[in-house]
Every structure is written in C-alpha cells, then in structure tokens.
C-alpha cells in the first residue's frame, strides 16, 4: 500500500527548514509515497478542513531549498495552538481536534520538525499520534535539545551572528569603543559561546555561568585593546537590575568609564542562506527519518551523536534533559539541554583570555 506522509514545522523558524522539507519530499517521492505539507504547524490542523498542500516534484524547487524560513510556515498569531488553548482552558478540545484532523488526512506517518518545546509537547501529548507513526526532527538556533550534538539551524545562526559582529568590530576599532551584543538562545548559552569563540570576543556571558560585574569591568579595562565585542546571551540576569541584559551590562560599563554601545542582531540570527553544514545535517536527518518510517518506528527523534545519525526514543529524549515547566504553558513540561561545565569551548575561551565568568 502506498504510504501517505505528513510534514509540519512548528515553533520558531530557522535556516535549514526548507532544505529539510525538500529532502524529505524528494526521498519520499522516490519511494513512491504521497507527501502532504501541513500549513502553519498545529494551527493548520485546527482549521476545517485541515490546511494542507499536496507535494509534487515542483512544489519546493531545489534552488529555493537553501532559503531561510519555512515554506510550510510555523504558525500565526491568535490561532488556536497549545499555548492559546492552555490560556483559554481548551487543551482537551485542542488535542481532540488535532487527532481528528490527522485521522481525516489518512496519514501513515507524521514528520514533526520542531524545537525542544514542540518535541516535548509531542511526547507529553503522545495519545494524539497513537494511530500514526510520529517521527520528530530537531531544529533550533538555541541548540538546547538533549541527546543530539547538533540541531538544524544552529550553524547558520552562528554564522549570521559572527558576520554581524565582524562588521561591528570594524566600527568599534574606528571609535575606540566596545560593543555589547545581545544574542538569542533563551536559557542556553550555546549560540553566544560558539559565536564568541568565532569572533574572538573579549567576554562571553551565558546563563550557565555566574559572572561578577566588577571582574568583567576589570577584565575590559586591562585589555591590550580599547575596543572589542562583549557577547551577552539573552538569558543572563544581573542581581538588582532589570531590563534587557545588554542594556544592564552597558550601563555598568558606562558607569565605570568604558565607552560602549549596545547592538541587537535580533531575528537576523534566524535567517540567512543555509550554510553547507546545516544543509548536510538536514539531508542526513531527512534520510534517517525516512528510514525510520520504513522500519515502522514511532515516537522517535532523529539525532546526531559521535558523528552517527540515528533515532532515539522520545521517552529517552525527554528523560535525558533538565525538565521544567513550559514558560508559556505552565501545566506542560519541556526537556532542556544547556552548556555543559565540561564543554571544551569553555576551556578554550579561558585559554584565549576571554572572560566567561567565575567558573574557572
């Protein structure tokens, strides 16, 4: 019997999604399977009828697969989704609607492409997918997903942030000035840490490592240069102060006589033509997901560990991380990964004279 496969992208967007969609569709059609793209993630499953498109060889041309964003979209403001359903007391209705829509679509399998929140929600609400195979693929610029060494979109985000800071470094030098750059990453410091190593930042502040503002000021004042970049992850906090992290650090530097400006790359970190390593990762994970469908696997996630691309069970994924309440849906939980104290980049940063806090 010809298989009918659904694909949807959920959560925040990132580069690499279109490459992944293209590779899944290409591999599935070579197998003679039907491919259905679900528009706007779970939002599309809540419309009547479900909002979908049927893929053919021309649906997402290969030359467009490098582009950022998602051809299938990731959701729209105000639509019924896990978050709005929780706010309005409609979670049971929402879950039932998802299950009904999936049944109407007559899918054999669903490939859910999402971050740690989306994948955690899929596992915690796994009864929704009891009648089909569920294969999850991890994508996020935060790289905060347990059990995988890489997530789709991360490398491109690091490149985007690196390019942004490279340009700032030139104007910083021209004006003998420091730039405090606030990165994305939520409560995980991987994006700031990797980009900071790439640009040769003077300091990298991440949520996982406590820092002392006086030590940071002393470090900047003792620098052999009078310019540079201080990378600040959006998840850090400074006791007794409120506001955006970069602004808090900037005010402290200014009070100490250090000339500085703040800069916010914001959503440019989510875009940019997908770099080669993300395209390769997307292709590997697409191939792994298609093999999982052939092997009748379900409730699994594709993952890269020690250079091997394989599937891990969603139960393993969930239990391997730090479990906490979802920031937007308190009654549901997510599984998170963070920068490990043993991450070799931390030691490298210290060896390069980069201030990373009081850990070492």
- The catalytic residue positions are 142
Q: Is 160 exposed, middle or buried (0-12, 13-18, 19+ CB in 10 A)?
A: buried
CA separation for the pair 220, 262 (Å, rounded): 15
In 3-state terms, what secondary structure has residue 199? helix
Whether the CB-CB separation of 41 and 10 falls below 8 Å is answered with yes
334: Cα separation from own chain's centroid: 14
Phi first, then psi: what are they for 331, rounded to 5°? -80, -5
CA separation for the pair 240, 92 (Å, rounded): 41
First to last CA, the chain: 59
In 3-state terms, what secondary structure has residue 62? helix
Region for residue 267 given its phi and psi (left: phi exceeds 0; alpha: psi -120 to 50; beta: otherwise): alpha
Q: Is the peptide bond before 97 cis (omega within 30 degrees of 0)?
A: no
Quote the strand ranges of the chain, DSSP E. Answer: 4-9, 34-38, 52-54, 109-114, 133-138, 178-183, 203-205, 228-233, 260-263, 300-305, 308-313, 322-325, 333-336
């Amino acid at each position: 019997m010809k298989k009918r496969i659904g694909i949807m992208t959920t959560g925040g967007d990132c580069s690499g999604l279109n490459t992944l969609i293209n590779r899944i569709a290409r591999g599935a059609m070579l197998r003679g399977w039907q491919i259905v793209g679900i528009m706007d993630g779970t939002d599309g499953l809540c419309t009547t009828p479900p909002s979908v498109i049927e893929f053919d060889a021309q649906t997402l041309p290969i030359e467009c697969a490098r582009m950022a964003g998602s051809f299938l979209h990731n959701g729209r403001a105000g639509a019924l989704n896990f978050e709005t359903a929780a706010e309005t007391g409609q979670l049971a209705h929402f879950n039932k609607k998802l299950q009904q829509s999936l049944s109407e679509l007559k899918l054999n399998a669903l490939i859910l492409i999402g971050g740690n929140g989306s994948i955690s929600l899929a596992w915690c609400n796994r009864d929704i997918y009891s009648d089909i195979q569920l294969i999850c693929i991890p994508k996020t610029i935060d790289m905060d997903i347990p059990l995988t060494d890489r997530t789709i979109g991360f490398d491109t985000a690091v490149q985007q942030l690196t390019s942004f800071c490279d340009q700032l470094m030139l104007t910083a030098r021209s004006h003998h000035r420091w730039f405090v750059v606030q990165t994305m990453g939520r409560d995980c410091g991987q994006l700031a840490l990797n980009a900071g190593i790439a640009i040769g930042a003077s300091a990298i502040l991440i949520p996982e490592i406590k820092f002392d503002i006086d030590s940071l000021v002393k470090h900047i004042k003792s620098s052999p240069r009078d310019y540079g970049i201080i990378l600040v992850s959006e998840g850090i906090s400074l006791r007794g102060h409120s506001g955006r992290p970069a602004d808090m650090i900037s005010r402290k530097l200014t009070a100490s006589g250090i000339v500085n400006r703040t800069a916010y790359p914001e959503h440019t970190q989510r875009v940019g033509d997908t770099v080669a390593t993300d395209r390769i990762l997307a292709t590997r994970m697409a191939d792994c997901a298609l093999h999982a469908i052939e092997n009748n696997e379900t409730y699994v996630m594709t993952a890269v560990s020690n250079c091997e691309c394989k599937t891990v069970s969603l139960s393993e994924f969930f239990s391997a991380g730090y479990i906490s309440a979802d920031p937007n849906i308190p009654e549901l939980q997510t599984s998170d990964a963070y920068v490990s104290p043993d991450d070799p980049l931390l030691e490298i940063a210290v060896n390069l004279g980069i201030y990373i806090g009081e850990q070492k």
